[in-house]
A = this chain, B = another copy of it.
Amino acid sequence: MAVLSVSQALNMALREEMGRDDRVFMIGEDIKDSTYGVTRGLWDEFGPKRVIGTPISEIAIAGAVLGAASVGLRPVAEFMYMTFMMCAMDQVVNQAAKSKYMFGGKAVLPIVYRTMAGAGRANAAQHTQSLEAWFAHVPGLKIVMPSTAYDAKGLLKTSIRDDNPVIFIENKVQYATTKDEVPDTDYTVPFGVASVRRTGKDVTIIGLQRMVEIALEAADHLAEEGIEAEVIDPRTIVPLDLDTIIKSVKKTHRVVIVHEAHERVGFGAELVAQIVQHAFDYLDAPPARVANPNVPTPFNRILENLSIPSAAQVAQAVRGLMR
The interface of chain A, by Cβ under 8 A from chain B, is 83-84, 86-87, 89-90, 93-94, 97-98, 101-102, 124-126, 133-134, 136-140, 238, 261-262, 264-270, 272-273, 276-277, 280, 283, 285-289, 294-296, 298-299
| Nearest-CB residue, chain B, relative to A298 | B101
Q: In the assembled complex, how far is the CB of residue A59 from the closest CB belonging to chain B, in whole angstroms?
A: 8
Which residues of B are found within 8 Å of A262, using beta-carbon distances? 137-139
Give the chain B neighbours of A267 by CB distance below 8 A: 265
Closest to A125 in B: B98
B280, A273: Cβ atoms closer than 8 Å: no
Contact status A269-B280, CB under 8 Å: no
Residue of B nearest to A95 (CB): B126
19 residue pairs A–B, Cβ–Cβ below 8 Å: A83-B90, A89-B89, A94-B126, A98-B296, A101-B125, A101-B295, A101-B296, A133-B133, A133-B265, A136-B264, A136-B265, A137-B264, A137-B265, A139-B295, A265-B265, A265-B269, A268-B273, A277-B288, A280-B285
Q: For the complex formed, measure the closest distance between the CB of A293 and the CB atoms of chain B, giving whole angstroms.
A: 8
Pair A139/B89 contact, Cβ less than 8 Å: no
Complex: how many Å from CA A124 to CA B102? 8
The residues of B that contact A283 with a CB separation of less than 8 Å are: 280
By secondary structure, the A interface counts as: helix
What's the minimum C-beta distance from A214 to chain B, rounded to whole angstroms? 20
Best-buried of A94, A238, A264 by chain B (most CB within 10 Å): A264
Given A102-B124, A265-B265, A280-B283: 19 more A-B contacts, CB < 8 Å:
A83-B94, A84-B90, A86-B94, A87-B89, A94-B126, A97-B296, A98-B125, A101-B125, A102-B125, A102-B296, A102-B299, A134-B134, A134-B265, A137-B265, A137-B266, A139-B264, A264-B270, A265-B267, A269-B272
